[in-house]
Chain A
Amino acid sequence: MTQLVNMIILDEGDNVGVALRDIAAGEQARSANGLQLPAAERIVQGHKVALRNIAEAEKIIRFGVAVGIATASIPRGHLVHIHNVKSQYLNNDEDHYE
Chain B
Amino acid sequence: MSRTSSHQGMRGYLRADGRKGIRNFVVIAYLVECAHHVARQIAQAHQTEGGQLIGFPGCYPSDYAHRVMEAMCTHPNVGAVLLVSLGCEEFRRSALLDAVEASGRAAKLLVIQECGGTRAAIGEGRHWVTQALAAAHAVETVPLDFSDLVIGTKCGGSDGLSGITINPAVGRAFDRLGDLGATLMFEETCELIGCQDHMQQRAVTPELGRELKAAVEKADRYYRELGHGSFGGGNIKHGLSTLEEKSLGAYAKSGTRPIAGLIKPGTRPPHGGLYLMDTVNDGPVRHGIPNINDTQTITEMVASGCHMIVFTTGAGSVVGQAVAPVIKGVSNSRVYQRLADDIDVNGGTIADGVETIDDVGERIIAEVVSLASGHPSKSESLGHQEFALSYKTYEPAGPACLPV
Contact = CB atoms under 8 A, between A and B. Distances in A.
B325 interface: no
B47 interface: no
B160 interface: yes
A45 to B, nearest CB: 6
Instruction: Tell me if A's interface is mostly helix, strand, loop or mixed.
Output: loop
Nearest to B245: A67
A89 B164 contact: no
A50 B159 CA distance: 18
A85 interface: yes
Contacts of B234: 97
Interface in B202-246: 220, 223-224, 228-229, 231-234, 236, 238-245
Contact of A46 (B159, B223, B352): B159
A52 to B, nearest CB: 17
Given A1-B353, A89-B194, A96-B233, A60 B241 contact: yes
Contacts, number: 112
B239 A45 contact: yes
B334 interface: yes
Contacts of B265: none
Nearest to B331: A46
Instruction: Tell me if B's interface is mostly helix, strand, loop or mixed.
Output: loop
Contacts of B243: 87, 89-92
Contacts of B159: 46
B334 A85 contact: no
Nearest to A60: B241
B248 A92 contact: no
B193 interface: yes
Interface string A1-13: 1010100101000
A81 B244 contact: no
Contact of A86 (B228, B242, B352): B242
B225 to A, nearest CB: 10
A58 to B, nearest CB: 14
Contact of B233 (A65, A90, A97): A97
A87 B242 contact: yes
A88 B194 contact: yes
Nearest to A8: B164
A4 B47 CA distance: 49
21 contacts: A10-B164, A18-B164, A20-B161, A20-B164, A20-B352, A20-B353, A45-B351, A46-B159, A46-B238, A62-B245, A65-B248, A68-B245, A85-B241, A87-B231, A88-B242, A90-B220, A91-B242, A91-B243, A93-B236, A93-B241, A95-B228
Given A46-B240, A98-B233, 20 more contacts: A18-B160, A20-B161, A45-B351, A46-B159, A46-B160, A67-B245, A80-B241, A81-B236, A82-B236, A85-B241, A86-B242, A87-B243, A87-B244, A88-B194, A90-B223, A91-B243, A92-B243, A93-B236, A93-B242, A97-B234
What 7 pairs between A and B have smallest CB-CB spacing? A46-B160, A46-B239, A67-B245, A87-B242, A1-B353, A90-B229, A47-B239
